[in-house]
Amino acid sequence: MRTTRKLSLAALTLSLSLGLSGLAFAQTPAADPAAAAPAAAITLTPIQSIKAAHAQRKAERQAAVAQRKADLKAAHDKKVADLKATNDNKIADLKATHDKKITDLKAAHDKKIAELKKLEATGYQPAAKDPNYPQDLQNAEKKAATSGQ
C-alpha cells in the first residue's frame, strides 16, 4: 500500500513538473487532431527530465527494497519451519529414549521382584530382624539356585 502511494506521489510530481501543458492537453478535444499535434510535441526542460528520472529511480529503489523484504521474510519463514521440524524430531527422539529407559527400568524392577519372591519362597525373610542376615540370604540363594536348576 505504501509503495502504491509513493508511486502515485511520483506520478503526481511528474505531472506537476510538466506544468500547465498537461492541463492544456487535457482540455483539447479529442476530435481535433490539429489541436492535439502541438501537445504531443512538448519537450521536457532539463530540470523536469531530471526530476522525472529521479522519481523513476526512487520508485525502482522502493520496489527493490520491497522485493528484498519479501525475499528475507520468505527465507526467515522457511528457516523457522525447518527449525520447528528439527525440534519436533529431537523431541520425538528424546521421548523414544525416555520410553525405552522407563521400559528397561520396569523390566529390571520386575526381575528384582521375581528374585525376591523366589528367595522368600525358599525361606528368606527380609522383614525379620535377623542377626544372621548375610548367612540367611546366602542360604536362601543356595536353595533357590539348587531348586531352579
| pLDDT attached to residue 21 | 47
| Mean pLDDT of the residues in the chain | 80
| pLDDT attached to residue 20 | 43
Q: Which residues contact 8 (CB under 8 A, 6 or more apart)?
A: none
pTM of full prediction above 0.75: no
CA distance 112 to 148: 16
The predicted model gives 97-111 an average pLDDT of: 96
CA distance 9 to 56: 11
Taking the mean position of all CA atoms in its chain, how far away is CA 132? 67
* Grid coordinates given for 148: 531352579
